Structure 1
């Protein structure tokens, strides 16, 4: 059986999937604040609780999954984007 080599392997954090969906819907990149707000809205629509720490969790996921996300304007920027080829 072939090993899954895509960035969307079975072990990925569900929050990373939500973030990627938000970025994709926003044309591939967005300000961190906007991503947090949209992820919160998605969670509420699904009936999930949105904790006060969502913003920090989103930043942790951005940092953890650098194979999926990057800062297109450099490390000081608050804008995040999907890595090229990630859909």
Structure 2
């Protein structure tokens, strides 16, 4: 079933965001891997939208890297994980 709304991919790298949306950069980025070209085609077809998010707001960070206790606790509600003894 086709999507009625484009899927949004949040990225904390502004350069990647610009490259994914702007094909003008293609000639300078020939060495990039196939997955970027795939994403760019999906953006062009309106199936995916790449949007910038500040690195401190990356929801996946608690699952992928060590964080300070404060940063970890701040991100838990964004993941839907909330415990009264953590706050």
User: Does TM, normalized by the shorter one, top 0.5?
Assistant: no
TM range (shorter): under 0.3
Q: TM-score, normalised by structure 2?
A: 0.27
More helix by share: 2
Give 1 or 2 for the bigger CA radius of gyration: 2
